Amino acid sequence: GENVEQHPSTLSVQEGDSAVIKCTYSDSASNYFPWYKQELGKGPQLIIDIRSNVGEKKDQRIAVTLNKTAKHFSLHITETQPEDSAVYFCAASGRISGGSYIPTFGRGTSLIVHP
């Protein structure tokens, strides 16, 4: 089955710096890669996603890149702000269960942005 590795587990940056979180996946059949932001005590919120026919996608300060050959995808946050502090999860969607494709999640990255 699919295996998703996420690094780093913790990332501490100064406000205004950039933050990069990297994930690798194992199943070459995976074709959908969402990123979620989870604040303390809340459910994960989808912040950006990318499909396998695209190499890069950007939404304001957030961008995601995908290298299908190397099975890598990354989240880039520029000009970080304290409110970006949260746990970020990557996921790769390729496994089928109960007739549905379901995502396999990484273990999460705790991003801390210091003012």
Partner 1 sequence: GAVVSQHPSRVICKSGTSVKIECRSLDFQATTMFWYRQFPKQSLMLMATSNEGSKATYEQGVEKDKFLINHASLTLSTLTVTSAHPEDSSFYICSARDRETQYFGPGTRLLVL
- Alpha carbons 43 and 39: distance in angstroms, whole number: 7
Q: How far is the CB of 108 from partner 1 (least distance, A)?
A: 5
Q: Which residues contact 73 (CB under 8 A, 6 or more apart)?
A: 22, 23, 24, 25, 33, 50, 64, 65, 66, 67, 90, 92
Nearest distance from C-beta of residue 30 to partner 1, angstroms:
12
Q: Does the footprint of partner 1 cover residue 24 (CB under 8 A)?
A: no
d(CA 76, CA 74) in angstroms, rounded, equals 7
**Other beta carbons less than 10 A from residue 31's beta carbon:** 15
Q: Kindly state the smallest distance separating residue 100's Cβ from partner 1, in Å.
A: 5
Q: Does 5 bind partner 1 (CB under 8 A)?
A: no
Can you tell me which of 43, 53, 69, 70 binds partner 1, judged by CB under 8 A? 43
Asked whether position 57 contacts partner 1 by CB under 8 A, the answer is no
Q: Is 99 in the site for partner 1 (CB under 8 A)?
A: yes
Place of tokens 């050959």: 69
Question: Contact residues for partner 1 (CB under 8 A)?
Answer: 32, 34, 36, 41-46, 49, 89, 93, 97-103, 105-108, 110
